Chains A and B, each alone.
Chain A
Amino acid sequence: MNFIGTIKLVIRTLLARKGRSFLTILGIVIGVAGVIIIIALGAGAQSLVLGQVTKLGTNLLNVQPGKSNEKGPPSQAFGIVVTTLTKEDADALKDQSRVPHASGVMGSVQGSDTVVWQNKDTDVAYQGVQSTYTNIVSLTMEQGRFIDEKEDRGAANVIVIGSQVRDELFGSDINPIGQVVKIKSVPFEVIGVVAKRGSFMFQNQDKQAYIPLSIAQKQLLGINYLQAIIIKVDSTDNVDQTISDVTQVLSERHRIKRAEDEDFTVRNIADAIKIFTTVTDALRLFLIAMASIALLVGGIGILNIMMVTVAERTREIGLRKAVGATNRAVRNQFLFESGFLTLLGGVAGIIIGAVVSYLVALGARFAGLDWAFVISWWSVFLAVGVSIITGVIFGIYPALKASKLNPIDALRYE
């Protein structure tokens, strides 16, 4: 029997058992949909974060307290607080003779709290920054201005708020500039509103507020160390030079002689991207392994059903052989049947996976994230390929079993 004849026969057989065919492929559908969703969401999330990080520019350096492995996550991730990085360190790095390629240096701390104006309040993530912040990150002010050098040095009680904070506290009628808001009973005069920025690194930037570093440290957080020093390098070519300059200055200041004793870590964004990709790749691999188990289980389901089918249709196989079907024709019929079933499952899985990924992307965009809907061709080919191969592999045994039946034994089978 030829190829098209076999396909027609297989389709007719499967259509005659719609319900069972559907249940048979359910495992494959779930497995394939899982693979597609995981790959699509992984790609979407990765492109989102990478896109935002690269938007910052790759010539940013981040000095963090505590020594950490080059490729591992920073030590803060493990809950270790290292207090040796100070505002004086940041000031020392501003010395152009020591760190000539630093075009902006800023110490920073972060916290979150409730900001109150009259009888209204809202939660904010505040960042204690220095006036050099605007040299490092480009901000567009919607109203007023950013913290200036005098306010930075004098630890003035001023605050710059995100547009959403403004909307929630003041609405659209009241001019926020000059109003006094309170965080932990500490009064701050609003001096500026940052234009809408959307989300960045899963943080809603419009719910942020900026206050001078010293006041954040002393009055809000009660600490005297920094959580990070951010340095902008004038050009990407000078990143490596600047890392070694920064390391040298800080080592001298902290009286560190050997590299392994360093109590700080200088990272550049490129490194951060590498770490991020390593982590997400590992996570994705793990999830794909889980989805593969679903595929395997689906394959065993196929094996099981094909065995039942062959047993059930023994007389039919006998008849086919009696009227001239060769062993090969019978084997192909059953092999095609399982292969076609899983192909169907694969296609259904891809469609479901794509729809779910699309809905997630839609939801993410609705939430203000710049989420890309990516279904990569290789994941589609992988899914289709794996599902057909699953069908063929798990179909081989039942198909061979069917083809080797003795015609007269098969015909007499009860």
Chain B
Amino acid sequence: MAQVSITVNGKQRSSEVEPRTLLVHFLREQLNLTGTHVGCDTSQCGACTVLIDGRSAKACTVFAVQADGSEVTTIEGLAEGEQLHPLQTGFWEEHGLQCGYCTPGMIMSCVNLLNDNPKPSEQEIREGLDGNLCRCTGYQHIVNAVQHAATKG
């Protein structure tokens, strides 16, 4: 077992874990932060995307022990109280989700995208989503959601 201490959504969380515990399982099963999802096991789908020290990462491809001492932001930590993050608003306004399963990872990925490039072109948005799969939307409303956040956020 290994001791990890990770600041998750601003709160320091410490726990004993097996070294093989994936960060996504640490978040979901030990911290009950079930908003971060698992959609594949080979790092393609991006449903598990969180921010580690401000950068998007696939939490299914990181051991919790690797994130020891880091700051992790999950979908649950994105809104400020009642105030939704502009991307959450964008996804809602533009119907950027259907089943909602890819959505938390998709939104966290888009946070990274807009941090790097606040006014992306449509092509840049589409390429910025290379690490996230959605099976419901055909992506068009997701692109609209990011544009919404970029222009009205």
- Are A and B associated in one complex? no
Instruction: Identify the A interface with B (CB < 8 A).
Output: none
Instruction: Identify the B interface with A (CB < 8 A).
Output: none
